[in-house]
Amino acid sequence: MNIAVLQFPGSNCDQDAFHLFASGLGLPTRYVWHKDTGLGGADLVVVPGGFSYGDYLRCGAIARFSPVMAAVREHASRGGLVLGICNGFQILCEAGLLPGALIRNSSLEYRCMTCELAVADAGPSFNPAVLGGRLRLPIGHGEGNYRIDEAGRARLESNRQVLLRYVDNPNGSLDSIAGVRNEAGNVFGMMPHPDRAFERFHPSRDGLAVARAVLASRLPEVARASA
């Protein structure tokens, strides 16, 4: 059992993500450089926040073609766990591993604040009964405005793929969507930062429960052991 945290040029939440899993949950965690072509048998791949490749062209558009992403795609296709946070969510959407896209915030402002989030019923491991109805997690982004076409939106709803919704929408996201999973339930993405919500000095410690819920979707015994 181990966690891999990807590092792209411009990643800046890689250390936060590392410590969420290494210190927060006490799990074996290591970094994987974007030029690596393997994931060393990782069970969960975390695509961290930041500004990969300077957000050139579109957020996540270039990172998607990094050598390591072929390994992530292969890992995901075998049912392996993937979690994208903030820029990582943008990368997974660009890569087509998650549905939809993230565009400029409707306010055109970079939003850096702690958000209240409503937990959606996204399956047996990620739902209000497990996580509680509300979470508080920080956000920090300029392009978190989630968009998807009508057919995609209907699929998200019927497959229960929405994970979290903003209580007070900070970026104009369609249906206040803050995070989604793929249909198979092994790839997760969210704009809010569980990796900035697990220490006593953080605005909340709700990031731990989110990380455990992601693990529990495929690795329930690991999630229990880290609780």
Residues 106-135 that bind other proteins (CB under 8 A): 106-108
Please pick, from the candidates 24, 100, 138, 144, the single residue that binds other proteins as defined by CB under 8 A. Answer: 100
Please pick, from the candidates 94, 97, 156, 170, the single residue that binds other proteins as defined by CB under 8 A. Answer: 94
Does residue 149 touch other proteins according to CB under 8 A? yes
The β-bridge partners of 165 are: 118, 177
Spatial separation of the C-alpha atoms in residues 100 and 97, rounded to whole Å: 10
Alpha helices in 37-173 (DSSP H): 67-77, 87-94, 128-131, 150-158
For residue 99, give both structure tokens: 């549905």
Asked whether 120 and 162 are in contact (CB, 8 A), the reply is yes
Q: How far is the CB of 147 from other proteins (least distance, A)?
A: 6
Q: What is the CA radius of gyration of the chain?
A: 16
CB closer to other proteins, 27 vs 93: 93
Interface stretch with other proteins, choices 37-45, 103-111, 176-184, 192-200 (CB under 8 A):
103-111
Q: How far is the CB of 66 from other proteins (least distance, A)?
A: 13
- Residue in this structure with the two tokens 């369609």, named with its chain if needed: 174
CB closer to other proteins, 145 vs 186: 145
Spatial separation of the C-alpha atoms in residues 25 and 139, rounded to whole Å: 21
CB closer to other proteins, 101 vs 216: 101
- Give the alpha-carbon dihedral of 166, 171, 174, 178, to 10 degrees: -40
Interface stretch with other proteins, choices 18-26, 47-55, 142-150, 156-164 (CB under 8 A):
142-150
CB closer to other proteins, 77 vs 106: 106
Spatial separation of the C-alpha atoms in residues 101 and 116, rounded to whole Å: 22
Spatial separation of the C-alpha atoms in residues 36 and 16, rounded to whole Å: 21
Spatial separation of the C-alpha atoms in residues 169 and 172, rounded to whole Å: 6
Residues 63-82 that bind other proteins (CB under 8 A): 65
CB closer to other proteins, 56 vs 134: 56
Residues 163-202 that bind other proteins (CB under 8 A): 172
Q: Site residues (CB under 8 A) for other proteins?
A: 57-58, 61-62, 65, 93-94, 100-101, 103-108, 145, 147-149, 152, 172
